[in-house]
Amino acid sequence: MSLTEYRRKRKFDATREPEPGKPAPRGRRAIFVVQLHHASRRHYDFRLQVGDALKSWAVPKGPSYDPDVKRMAVEVEDHPLDYAGFEGEIPKGQYGGGHVAQFDTGVWAADGDAEAGLAKGHLRFELFGRKLKGRWHLVRSGKQAKQPQWLLFKDRDDYAGTLEADDLLADVPAPPAEDAKRAGTGKARKRKKTAIDVPTRRAHDWAAEARKLPGAKRGAVPSGAFEPQLAKLGDAAPAGETWLHELKWDGYRLLATVARGQVQLWSRNALEWTGKVPEITEAVSRLGLKSAALDGELIAGRGSREDFNLLQGTLSGERQGALALVLFDLLHVDGVDISAAPLLARKALLQRILGDAPPAHLAFSTHIEGNADTAIELASESGFEGIISKRSDRGYRPGRGDDWRKTKELASDEYAVVGYTPPKGSRSGFGALLLARPDAEHGWRYAGRVGSGFSDALLDELTPRIGRAGRSEPSVYVPPNDTDLRAAKWFAPRFVVEVFSRGTGGHGLLRQPSLKAVRPDKSVDDLHDSDRDGANDMAKRSERSASAAAPTQKKTAKRATKAASKAAAKVPAKKRTTRITDIERVPPTLSSPDKVLFPGDALTKRDVADYYAAAMPWLLPEIAGRPLSVIRCPGGIDGPCFFQKHHTAGITLVETVRLKDEAGASDYLVANDAAAVMELVQFNALEFHPWGAHADAPETADRIVFDLDPGDGVTWAEIVAAARQVRGLLQQLKLESFVRTTGGKGLHVVVPLDPGSDWDVVKPFAHAFAQGMTELDPLKYVATATKKFRKQKIFVDYLRNGRGATAIASFSLRARAGAPVSMPLRWEELGKLKSGDAWTLRNALARLKRLKTHPWGDFMALRQSLDGIVD
């Protein structure tokens, strides 16, 4: 059934149930949800996401963990994905009238193609919720009925038992009428369970076995993601008995750490994936280890090259493939650091820990010792891309080195996307992606274009990502004599793709390239790292064969980086916003939450984080998409604080934009979502100062800020009067303005501009306006920052209206005693206010809870400009 049937049965002006029409969220896995529905007949609604809808069944008695109990499941109309979050009352008289409460939710996987299984009448699947876990079956009944009937039952796995859905209702709210009835009789609701226990293996003294390994020592497990060891790409697999050879699994690198029995998963670039792949998290926890550090590859299916698309489709929600973590290394176990032990010994211990029958979703990466030719032949016959060869007698060494080598049977490599060609014929979106590889002399060198291997879904996904922007001039070095690039659009290296090819031709350009995959697990910087370490051997071979030979790889990494910066600086900054991509964006765990940041007010880092998390819906629209500076106070406001506007190592969720400045070109911070803001808070950021322009149009100011800064002897009443006077003068120019406290002594008067104006127009206008204020009342106003001229006067600060200048954001804290907050006001509120620091961390949230709309109304929709005001 389609969502048309769902819409037909409901009146959305009478029910709070979500109306279809919202696009399916991208980048999240397929979900399931089970809701307890007290309609005319109490039942459980069982829903599985297939495509852009929730396939739905009504299960009167709910799921049972007993494999011998088969529950009737009546197929009902599809529901929109938003229905997964619906709870509350459906009014009586409406379809399905009654109380709905969420019972469980999570992600799910299917054996094979889910739609094919449903069409066939037998769907085998696995659930990863808090209450519903393990393998299940849905089998269509042969009974003739108005609505299709199915049987839902449990598979005989490690979770099978006697529990019923009704035994897991401890945290599920009862309908209001039922609660009232119980309260009236004095009967309490029977206590039930809230989650299923995860079965773990019997405890074993793995530490004793680990201590026997050469080089083992007592040590703590890494406190977070550890740096992985990486392989170099070679022409041929290394020979000799000291090498072991594993399959080159086609997936995503995944690191696992266990501390005090708690599992965390990390991507290669140190983003936490614990919640993204719950089946892997649970599988590692079932090993029963107290502490551990493991290294492996996340795969779908067999992990061959043909399964990589299944992995990407599963992680993006388009498919429901079964995932597994293939483990190939063990660095730490139960308090013992074995990273210095020989690889062969580490793998032997890992294999014993996994056992003959590893927990579901875990596998051991087997190997062949010494015989590289046999390993490559087996890999090729089995559909794998190649092998990874490792020195069996060496310890684990983070980073890229000679101890690990990769050899590919089918040539593929990774490239940065630097532009696109327009579509032709019936194709939509783009024709081909333009590719580049790092180059020691030029920074980036054009490598060719790829136009095949794109599914319709991938075209739809990538088209908004590359946008319609771009410039006609190349943003990278293009070898001479390449043709048919006249209609191409170029931008700075933006994201990474992996491409199959038949080698390279003239000028090092790819022959017959075909897209293998988009690589969200890797950043553009990873390609430079790989190139500096000599991993991109294929690129070097191509350059050696080109008629114009490239410089040797003895060029230093410093020169390569400098050249890349020069190349990027030639591209208009509007086209150079760089997204730090991954499947999932999760804010980091708050470290040192009890650290006192405002000593005089006993406010901690946790208090700051809680404030920003609660104020996020108000703060984020003020700063998202804008170059951003922050004030960080690692030791609290009584210690050293510093202003930061450029990207630094360790920051992974905050995006960047490459902008020209006095140093040439730098990566400026851009916080586009809550995860990025909270990462900055984790780095002890207290204040947020955005530009008056967006990162994609940094030369165009879309707001003007007049900072009314009082000198000594100026009263608050005079500041209020000055703000009102500024407003009146702006109104004479047909410009609406808005007011906010600064969290200090003064006020800001803000003028939105749409369309905006160039900085060389805005700054002179702001200067002239401020100068006009001083001419209007020279005893009251001053337009210079020199302190000796500001006594008993108000400085009309226009300097916040130049390129690169910033102003405190509305709703931002200030790094000052009392933890004041910059707060936007309605003009009529101004007379009631006693000072510019009236709002603080302690009372600001209470105000935000009372606000129904922004105090400035829909100011972002206000259309006004300097046209006609400034010639």
- Annotated catalytic sites, by residue? 248
For residues 254 and 257, give the distance between their C-alpha atoms in angstroms, rounded to a whole number.
10
Place of tokens 């041929």: 236
Contact 128, 197 (CB under 8 A): no
Place of tokens 């210690």: 639
Nearest to 309 by CA among 491, 500, 125, 164: 500
Interacting residues of 92 by C-beta distance below 8 A, sequence separation 6+: 98
Which three-class secondary structure state does DSSP give residue 785? coil
What are the tokens at 620? Answer: 């984020």
For residues 590 and 599, give the distance between their C-alpha atoms in angstroms, rounded to a whole number.
19
Contact 141, 71 (CB under 8 A): no
For residues 462 and 431, give the distance between their C-alpha atoms in angstroms, rounded to a whole number.
12
Beta partners for residue 253, in sequence order: 297
Burial, 419: exposed, middle or buried (Cβ in 10 Å; 0-12, 13-18, 19+)? Answer: buried
Q: Are strands 738-741 and 824-825 parallel, antiparallel or unpaired?
A: antiparallel
For residues 75 and 149, give the distance between their C-alpha atoms in angstroms, rounded to a whole number.
6
What is the residue type of 494?
Answer: R
What are phi and psi for residue 180, nearest 5 degrees?
-65, -40
Query: Helical H runs in 777-869?
Result: 844-850
For residues 301 and 308, give the distance between their C-alpha atoms in angstroms, rounded to a whole number.
9
Nearest to 518 by CA among 442, 450, 469, 596: 450
b/e sequence 528-563, b meaning 16+ C-beta within 10 Å = bbbbbeebbebbbebbeebeeebeebeeeeeebbeb
3-state helix, strand and coil shares in percent for the chain, rounded to the nearest 5: 25, 30, 45
| Max Cα-Cα span within the chain | 92
Contact 305, 312 (CB under 8 A): no
For residues 405 and 388, give the distance between their C-alpha atoms in angstroms, rounded to a whole number.
6
What do you get for the CA distance between the two ends of the chain, in Å? 62
Place of tokens 């779908």: 300
For residues 55 and 49, give the distance between their C-alpha atoms in angstroms, rounded to a whole number.
6
For residues 264 and 275, give the distance between their C-alpha atoms in angstroms, rounded to a whole number.
9
